[in-house]
């Protein structure tokens, strides 16, 4: 292992949220103004879902939830690792892509039903590599099997001149139902006294890859650097994102209806502040960091505050439940093969996240998503 | 105007469907095998929607339809025209993107309810051009207004290394309901004796742009070539795609339920052969070509068979209705501001499309989509 070089921030890694976020806000305002169209069809939006991870419409007997999500730049790591090792990592990449959509959709209480594939290649040639293409198909199907969703179809355009030659832009859309309607987990269910249960991540998932790729450039052995005996940095980065819908479905079957959920993606643990209410989130138990996240933090020279503000640091999903359901929620997750910790409590008070074991505080100003 | 040079086929323009289609078939098989998951949620797929433009699930009180669609490479024309004229064409581009999704979703009889935006840029900088970004937002909202859909949200990733610098990969997902269920227009409703009504296109729409861009390279004045007094080739190409959902909604209100619909996109008029049944489609009336399509056909040196097999040639959407509803269907479309022609009939017989005024025949072998 090399020693840490100069600190590397997320912005230096090439993602400038300052340029994107103003457009997001304008777009969100325009989008909100279109909600009135639903009345013409006899329906209405669930206003509390605006600003949440998935959009929800009340269609009468149940709620309809939908989303589209991009994988990001994780394929660049898979491409480079394929060059270095001769192996294809696209089965895992397929799972990552579906996880981005499914793990967001379930935050509102939805059961994912249909996934659509969006595979936009830099040219028809991409699809000519049969081994890679078949891995993508097989991984996509396997993730659908895990999440018990139907793969409806999709789009496989060849976009020479837009997508770079030899690359692919992967995304997934997902549609689901909140059924019965009391499963809806946006709005005012969350409150003081609730418990915070954190679910284990499998690694970096699909956020923070720009930073992770920059670090690889600084390592003499790059992606082949061993971060643990027998485990290279590249392999560790490519661990497929955990799929959490089996947990949320099992919770419902166990009679537990989360009050709120947060998918911990971009902005790291600041996503725990996502709910619009003024509440204090006090974390007393911090899950272990996965090896690859510990390695990234060390190599990037990040203090804990920076690391937890951008990466999942071992916790990929947060479930907010009644305190009395907390231990059972964690057990249901473990029974699904996902590590889980009763990690904290929701309290009355100003909007802030207190990660007590690490002496970190994030306030509302640290997360401007709405 | 320059004179026609050597003929230019669609394949020469850089899209090789032979490389994409085998993967599509493998993916379609894997996707079909996931349908059984819906039973675990108490639902089932509408099997006849496999291979159609949108995927349909029976959720009890109504059918759920969903789709994701890519714009393609039309933004490359908009980017070049912005450079040449200083104008932004991204409001129209937004409409094109939504049209790709909405015009497909309505073919199964669905009312589009929610659109999600997928705007994947080559870097954060793309969003820093405020004029262009605002045009995209404004055009997106206007198209949602026309289609009476709610803009649910979306994804605006910056994908340096995957999407080319300065470019953007645009797509839309759309979710809708088929409500009441008798509006479903896949399966065995289509039959001999039905009439074919063609709806006018507004130009090239968003298919055939690879070919159109190649042609621009061969023109001495490129996109600034006048194809009609005061209308440049670039402007004509950038006419936004017609949105057909106001027509299908108005038809339902008028008591007309199409037996089948085909969105005429890639593969041009061969899309009229999309329905799986063995039926003969006899066209007796051919809508006028739009100026830009006539120009492309001439410049590419295409005969009618080649042109109608790849481009919409003036007809962007086909509606198959009971013969007695044909004239009224065309009138409802015209009342929505969309040109329409009662153009042909469905007959018993081998699977083929006969465009009689042009002496063209396409057989099943000419369209291998399933």
The fold of B37-183 is 60s Ribosomal Protein L30; Chain: A; (3.30.1330)
Which of A41, A148, A161 is facing B40, going by the closest CB pair?
A148
Q: Which of A11, A34, A154, A252 to mutate to test the interface with B (most CBs of B within 10 A)?
A: A34
Which of B41, B73, B169 is facing A111, going by the closest CB pair?
B41
Q: How far apart are the first and last CA of chain B?
A: 40
Q: Which of A173, A174, A243, A266 to mutate to test the interface with B (most CBs of B within 10 A)?
A: A173
pLDDT of residue B11: 53
pTM check: above 0.90: yes
High-pLDDT (> 90) share of chain A, %: 88
Q: Does A57 touch chain B (CB under 8 A)?
A: yes
Which of B19, B69, B162 is facing A167, going by the closest CB pair?
B162
- Closest residue, chain A, to B167 (C-alpha): A162
Q: Does B44 touch chain A (CB under 8 A)?
A: no
Which of A20, A123, A151 is facing B156, going by the closest CB pair?
A20
pLDDT of residue B20: 64
Q: Which of A51-55, A332-336, B8-12 has the lowest mean pLDDT?
A: B8-12
Length of chain A measured in residues = 370
- Closest residue, chain A, to B131 (C-alpha): A23
Q: Does A45 touch chain B (CB under 8 A)?
A: yes
**Nearest CA distance, B30 vs chain A (angstrom):** 6
Q: Which of B159, B214, B369 to mutate to test the interface with A (most CBs of A within 10 A)?
A: B159
Q: Which tens digits make up the pLDDT trace of B147-170?
A: 999 999 999 999 999 999 999 999
Q: Look at B171 and A26 and tell me if their CB atoms are within 8 Å.
A: no
Domain with CATH 3.30.1330.10 in chain A: 37-183
Query: Quick check: A171 pLDDT over 60?
Result: yes
Q: What is the mean pLDDT of residues B304-329?
A: 97
Rounded mean pLDDT of chain A? 94
Query: Quick check: A8 pLDDT over 70?
Result: no
pLDDT of residue A22: 76
Q: Does B7 touch chain A (CB under 8 A)?
A: no
**Nearest CA distance, A45 vs chain B (angstrom):** 8
pLDDT of residue B367: 73
- Chain A residues close to B67, C-beta within 8 Å: 116, 152-153, 173
High-pLDDT (> 90) share of chain B, %: 89
Residue in B186, B193, B369, B356 with CA at minimum distance from that of residue B279: B193
Q: Does B85 touch chain A (CB under 8 A)?
A: no
Question: How many other CB atoms sit within 10 Å of the CB of residue A150?
Answer: 28
Q: Does B125 touch chain A (CB under 8 A)?
A: yes
- Chain B residues close to A15, C-beta within 8 Å: 124, 158
Q: Look at B73 and A156 and tell me if their CB atoms are within 8 Å.
A: no
**Nearest CA distance, A250 vs chain B (angstrom):** 12
Which of B40, B158, B175 is facing A15, going by the closest CB pair?
B158
Query: Quick check: A4 pLDDT over 60?
Result: no
- Chain B residues close to A177, C-beta within 8 Å: 41, 59, 64
Domain with CATH 3.90.650.10 in chain A: 195-366
Q: Does B59 touch chain A (CB under 8 A)?
A: yes
pLDDT of residue A9: 54
- Closest residue, chain A, to B49 (C-alpha): A152
Q: Does A177 touch chain B (CB under 8 A)?
A: yes
- Chain A residues close to B57, C-beta within 8 Å: 113-114, 150, 152
Q: Which tens digits make up the pLDDT trace of B322-344?
A: 999 999 999 999 999 999 999 99
Q: What is the ipTM of this complex?
A: 0.94
Q: Does domain A195-366 have CATH number 3.90.650.10?
A: yes
Residue in A319, A293, A316, A317 with CA at minimum distance from that of residue A306: A293
B21: pLDDT confidence band, cut at 50, 70 and 90? confident
Q: What is the mean pLDDT of residues A2-11?
A: 47
- Report A:15-34 residues touching B (Cβ under 8 A): 15-17, 19-20, 22-24, 26-28, 30-31, 33-34
Query: Quick check: A7 pLDDT over 80?
Result: no
Per-residue HEC secondary structure of chain A comes to CCCCCCCCCCCCCCCCHHHHHHHHHHHHHHHHCCHHHHHHHCCEECHHHCCCCCEEEECCCCEEEEEEEECCCHHHHHHHHHHHHCCCCHHHHHHHHHHHHHHHHHHHCCEEEEEEEEEEECCHHHHHCHHHHHHHHHHHHHHHHHHCCEEEEEECCECECCECCCCEEEEEEEEEEECCHHHCCCCCCCCCCCEEEEEECCCCCCCCHHHHHHHHHHCCCHHHCEEECCEEHHHHHCCCCCCCHHHHHHHHHCCCCCCEEEECECEHHHHHHCCCCCEEEEECCCCCCCHHHHHHHHHHCCCHHHHHHHCCCCEEEEEEECHHHHHHHHHHHHHCCCCEEEEEEEEECCCEEEEHHHCEEEEHHHCCCC
pLDDT of residue A154: 94
- Chain B residues close to A133, C-beta within 8 Å: 23, 26
């Amino acid at each position: 292992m090399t020693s840490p070089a100069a600190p590397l921030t997320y912005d230096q890694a090439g993602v400038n949220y300052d340029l994107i976020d103003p457009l997001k806000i304008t777009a969100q305002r325009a989008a909100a103004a279109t909600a009135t169209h639903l009345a013409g069809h006899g329906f209405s939006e669930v206003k509390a879902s605006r600003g949440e991870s998935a959009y929800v419409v009340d269609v009468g007997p149940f709620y309809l939830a939908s989303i589209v999500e991009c994988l990001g730049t994780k394929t660049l790591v898979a491409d480079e690792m394929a060059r270095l090792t001769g192996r294809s990592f696209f089965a895992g990449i397929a799972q990552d892509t579906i996880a981005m959509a499914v793990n967001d959709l379930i935050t509102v209480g939805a059961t994912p039903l249909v996934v659509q594939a969006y595979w936009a290649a830099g040219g028809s040639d991409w699809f000519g590599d049969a081994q890679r293409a078949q891995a993508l198909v097989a991984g996509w199907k396997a993730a659908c099997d895990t999440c018990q969703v139907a793969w409806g179809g999709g789009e496989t355009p060849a976009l020479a001149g837009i997508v770079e030659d030899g690359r692919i832009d992967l995304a997934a859309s997902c549609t689901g139902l909140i059924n019965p309607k009391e499963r809806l987990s946006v709005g005012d269910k969350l409150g003081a006294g609730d418990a915070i249960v954190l679910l284990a991540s499998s690694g970096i998932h699909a956020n923070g890859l720009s930073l992770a790729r920059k670090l690889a450039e600084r390592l003499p052995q790059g992606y082949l650097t061993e971060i643990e005996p027998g485990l290279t940095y590249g392999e560790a980065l490519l661990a497929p994102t955990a799929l959490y819908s089996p947990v949320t479905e099992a919770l419902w079957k166990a009679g537990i209806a989360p009050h709120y959920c947060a998918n911990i993606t971009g902005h790291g643990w600041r996503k725990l502040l996502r709910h619009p209410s003024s509440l204090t989130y006090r974390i007393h138990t911090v899950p272990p960091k996965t090896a690859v996240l510990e390695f990234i933090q060390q190599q990037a020279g990040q203090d804990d505050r920076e690391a937890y503000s951008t990466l999942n640091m071992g916790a990929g999903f947060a479930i907010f439940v009644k305190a009395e359901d907390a231990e059972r929620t964690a057990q249901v997750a473990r029974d699904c093969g996902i590590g889980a910790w009763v990690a904290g409590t929701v309290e009355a008070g100003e909007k802030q996240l207190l990660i007590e074991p690490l002496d970190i505080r994030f306030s509302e100003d640290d997360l401007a998503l709405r």
